[in-house]
Amino acid sequence: MAVPVRPPLAQPGETRTIIAWSKEIGDPVSAGEPICEVETDKATVEIESQAEGVLVAKLFEAGAEIPEDGPIALVGSAGEIGTADAAADPVAAAERRATAPPSPAEPAASTAQAAPTAPAAPAAVSVPPGRRRAAVSPRARKRAEQLSVPLAGLAGTGPGGRVIERDVLAAGAAPPAPEPTPTAEPGAAARPAGDQVIPVRGARRLVAERMHASLRDTAQLTMTAYADATRLLQLRAAFKSADPQFEMAGVTLNDLILFAAARTLTEHPEINATCRDGERGLEIVRSATVHLAFAVDTPRVLMVPVIRDAAGLRVRELSARAADLAERCRDGSITPAELTGGTFTVSNLGSFGVESFTPILNPPQAAILGVGAVAWRPTGERAVQQQIALSLTIDHRLIDGAPAARFLQTLCARIAELDVLLAL
């Protein structure tokens, strides 16, 4: 009898969407082998089979949201292919019907004549043997997104016909086939042929909801100060040209800012704080440990991994952890646990030439630091200095303006004397 494949239980309210299947109907499956990739609100995870056999049925297609609980596929013997219907697994069939997207609304039936019943949409389309779609490697899928190369129908040259990166690159070099002009719906304005409609779902929907809730539910105040970046730039140049045995060449300007921020937060615990709903209302939690979150730009969505116990790390250690977390955010291997638990966030747009901006709070954190570009700024009547802009947004319900200003003042001083801070 076919065995259902069930993903781990979702968190309450968490949405999960199947990105792609790595196995097709009839493919052999080993216990513990991934059969599909699922995008959660925080990360992309692989769902593994709990049994050995062949993939008998896919209960959801790529792009479909899956329920918080319930099977998404069936693994059994080759003889069960095509027989895993409601009679074989009525629970799965019922769950599939309950979570299937609603069909277009039909005109209401009159008492004299009932409207014809629309045929039920098939739950999962199995591809006939010999025409199964090949699996796609994660690198190939990422490259296909970057080059806008459709994976459907793409021939794979990897093991077992798997689509690999070079297949996508070869397809991207060929001129794309012309797309049919979409037909405008009755009563709707005609949409230009080049428009792209992107559903807001998964991680993108979570970001949208969290940012809107942040502005709606908190009292945000932003203040900006400028730090002398002379020694910051000198240290970065010295690390870049240092002897390779010291392993300092990878330390970036952002790593040095993260290091300075983590050390400064230990001096200002009121800034290293989060909030929560307690029995008597809102509560402030001042963390004894700095769990430093930092924004990472990825091809899919903005992600904010967390460096645990950042204040206790040497700059090289902090740099290595930040680089590892950022890389795994971009390749999709980051775990949900590594994206939660931050007590303070740093968002750096300086590399894009942005001199200053207003960062949005990352709830439930009480503050976030926005880092701008280094630029020459006047410091007197005939003096200029290379300075870096630091914009601190606070939740004014939790932090007053004066403590926030003192934190910025200390942070500017630590950056200006960063070589001394490194020696401590």
User: Where exactly are the structural domains of the chain?
Assistant: 1-100+124-131, 133-174, 207-423
Q: What is the pLDDT of residues 57-74, one digit of tens each?
A: 999 888 888 877 788 999
pTM of the model: 0.64
Give the pairing type, strands 73-76 and 3-5.
Answer: antiparallel
Catalytic residue among 27, 324, 331, 396: 396
Fold exhibited by the domain 1-100+124-131: OB fold (Dihydrolipoamide Acetyltransferase, E2P) (2.40.50)
Query: For residue 159, is the peptide bond before it cis, meaning its omega torsion is within 30 degrees of 0?
Result: no
Catalytic residue among 69, 217, 400, 419: 400
Fold exhibited by the domain 133-174: Dihydrolipoamide Transferase (4.10.320)
- What residue type is 384 in one-letter code? V
| Per-residue model confidence (pLDDT) at position 146 | 78
| Per-residue model confidence (pLDDT) at position 236 | 95
Give strand ranges (E) for 342-383. 344-348, 367-378
| Per-residue model confidence (pLDDT) at position 107 | 41
Q: Does domain 207-423 have CATH number 3.40.50.2300?
A: no
| Per-residue model confidence (pLDDT) at position 336 | 87
In contact, 37 and 20? CB cutoff 8 Å: yes
Q: What is the pLDDT of residues 78-131, one digit of tens each?
A: 888 765 543 344 444 444 444 444 444 444 444 334 444 444 433 333 334 444
Please identify every stretch of the chain with a pLDDT value under 50, giving residue numbers as ranges.
Answer: 85-133, 187
3-state secondary structure of 181: coil
In the residue annotation, 396 being an active-site residue is answered as yes
Number of neighbouring beta carbons within 10 Å of residue 113: 7
Q: What is the pLDDT of residues 119-164, one digit of tens each?
A: 443 333 333 444 444 577 777 787 788 788 888 777 777 656 777 7
